Amino acid sequence: MKKCAIIGAGITGLSAAYYLEQESPDFEIDIIEASGVPGGKIKTYRKDGYTIELGPESYLGRKKIMTELAADIGMKDELVVNNTGQSYIYAKNKLHPIPGGAILGIPTELRPFITTRLISPIGKVRAAMDYIIKPKPMNPDVSVGAFFRRRLGNETLENLIEPLMSGIYGADIDKLSLKSTFPDFKKTEEAYGSLIKGMRSSRKETKSAPKQGQFRQFKNGLQSFIERLAEVLVNRGVTIKYNHKVEAINKTAQGYEVTMNGETHFYDSVIVTVPHTVFKDWFKDGPLDYFQTMKTTSVATVVMAFDESQVNNKANGTGFVIARNSDTVITACTWTDKKWSHAAPKGKTLLRAYVGRPGDTVVQDHDDAAIVKLARQDLDKMMEITGEPEFSIVTRLYNSMPQYEVGHIDKIHTIQHYVSTHYPNLVITGASFEAVGLPDCISQAQKAALKIAHR
């Protein structure tokens, strides 16, 4: 039997094991995990009727692979969909409803865009110039900021698009690679000569579909998905070695020597799924040196639970993101009890805010109490809150958001080619590569597993 080591038991590592075992049951699979639990960044707090995500919050339902995997492991009936509601942008010291029809900030309906106070009249005229500005070749890549500034102007970018897009990547929009994150916008520009025209046309096609939440979760939280996946793997003969920290991976004539907790074990194949901040110490040759300088952002989630009588929230909706030009420490907040019916007991208000932007050191510089205080000072600007929370939880995720700067995806393709020619039977994958979303991690894991199975 061939032996495969999968390094890391986050969602990427666990799903890689799932697809490898399914595709080629004669592999002996060891998942090697430094911590004592599976899931990596995924952590759910489940207590006293609360189901609160401390890391990622949900996944995009249109990326079907995660729903399919959930069904495969018997969790179809545990899936839940978010409640839809108005989302807001905090800009110019005020919460503004996101104009109706805006797709990731790109306006597709005239009236809501004309009436929004997020953008000045001059800013709106500038955005309308999108209809006449000619497409420009993207040679070879451009930042998301530069692309949208050119098409729609600085104001629409800064007050509408940036808060929605950069939050997903915890990134500086003027460094974030368009080709690595939102390449479809470039295709739309080229096909229609105008982003607004193109987005309006694709919106017409989906408008007739019934309005349903676009995010998915599990009634017992994302961690329940991880626990079930780990259980299924163990039942199928996969070994998960918890509290085993990989220190080195060395290529030999026959395969790979993986050193963990001071001991070296031989494997025929290896799938590496740890973040690049970890594997950059194991692979430095050729184009892999890119990971020595690839940046990350540290973020923290700040959860506060209140009795609903303590919070007077005039904005009726599911949450808000914050324009970068605002003077706040938090970058976004979800009114979690409104967005997810399963998250809090009746009568409670659950706020979940994010802290941490590229270049700031709030997460590193402050203790939990100080972070809660800073978040609370910001939240007091957006709603009336009296008294202290029943409880608060700060979860720090250091260096957790890999930064896909301009040119990223081309470098990744070069690296993937290099690894496949210089490291037979080894794949490096995960969120530092092609995409960060949970379903994207599963897709990348599936690709890695199929590569190993069919070599």
What are the tokens at 5? 């080591």
Sign, CA dihedral 47-48-54-60, equals positive
10/319 with CB nearer ligand FAD: 10
* Residue 19 to residue 409: CA distance in whole angstroms: 25
Q: How far is the CB of 14 from ligand FAD (least distance, A)?
A: 8
59/283 with CB nearer ligand FAD: 59
For 11-22, letters b (16+ CB in 10 Å) and e give bbbbbbbbbbbe
94/245 with CB nearer ligand FAD: 245
**414 φ/ψ angles, rounded to the nearest 5 degrees:** -65, -45
Coil, helix or strand at residue 391: strand
Q: What is the DSSP letter of 245?
A: -
Q: How far is the CB of 173 from ligand FAD (least distance, A)?
A: 18
42/98 with CB nearer ligand FAD: 42
Which residues here bind ligand FAD, judged by CB under 6 A? 7-13, 32-35, 40-42, 55-59, 245-246, 273-275, 278, 299, 301, 397, 400-401, 430-431, 436-438, 441
Sign, CA dihedral 70-72-77-81, equals positive
91/299 with CB nearer ligand FAD: 299
Task: Give alpha helix (H) positions in 129-209.
Answer: 144-152, 154-156, 162-169, 178-181, 183-192, 195-207
Q: How far is the CB of 387 from ligand FAD (least distance, A)?
A: 27
Task: Give alpha helix (H) positions in 96-175.
Answer: 110-115, 121-128, 144-152, 154-156, 162-169
Q: Are 32 and 241 in contact (CB under 8 A)?
A: yes
Q: How far is the CB of 440 from ligand FAD (least distance, A)?
A: 7
Q: How far is the CB of 416 from ligand FAD (least distance, A)?
A: 16
53/130 with CB nearer ligand FAD: 53
* Residue 81 to residue 60: CA distance in whole angstroms: 10
99/221 with CB nearer ligand FAD: 221
Residue 253's DSSP bridge partners are none
> Which among 141, 148, 207, 130 has a CA at the least distance from the CA of 177?
141
Let me know if 422 is exposed, middle or buried by CB neighbors in 10 A (0-12, 13-18, 19+): middle
Q: How far is the CB of 12 from ligand FAD (least distance, A)?
A: 4
150/396 with CB nearer ligand FAD: 396
* Residue 455 to residue 451: CA distance in whole angstroms: 6
Q: How far is the CB of 353 from ligand FAD (least distance, A)?
A: 11
Coil, helix or strand at residue 308: helix
143/296 with CB nearer ligand FAD: 296
What are the tokens at 416? 């993937």
Q: How far is the CB of 259 from ligand FAD (least distance, A)?
A: 10
181/400 with CB nearer ligand FAD: 400
Let me know if 386 is exposed, middle or buried by CB neighbors in 10 A (0-12, 13-18, 19+): exposed
Q: How far is the CB of 222 from ligand FAD (least distance, A)?
A: 9
CA of residue 324 relative to chain centroid, distance? 19
Q: How far is the CB of 403 from ligand FAD (least distance, A)?
A: 12
What are the tokens at 19? 């697809």
User: H-helix or E-strand containing 304?
Assistant: strand 296-307
